[in-house]
Amino acid sequence: MSTALELIRAVEANGGRIRVEDGWLVIAPEDAAAPVMEELR
């Protein structure tokens, strides 16, 4: 995975949603990001 769109799609495919809150990237539920955590870091 290399693009932001691919990361967003991967999180959404795991039932998650991404939003920005007070300047922070928030993924809910948190475990939806598990498959892409290394990419996000």
Residue identified by tokens 């799609």 is 9
Q: How far apart are CA 16 and CA 30, in angstroms?
A: 8
pLDDT of residue 2: 67
pLDDT at residue 1 tops 60: no
Q: How far apart are CA 20 and CA 22, in angstroms?
A: 7
Which residues have CB under 8 Å from 10's CB, separation 6+?
1, 35, 36
pLDDT of residue 39: 72
Q: What is the pLDDT of residues 3-35, one digit of tens each?
A: 888 888 999 999 999 999 999 989 999 899 888
Beta bridge partners of 28: 17
Which residues have CB under 8 Å from 32's CB, separation 6+?
11, 12, 14, 15, 16, 17
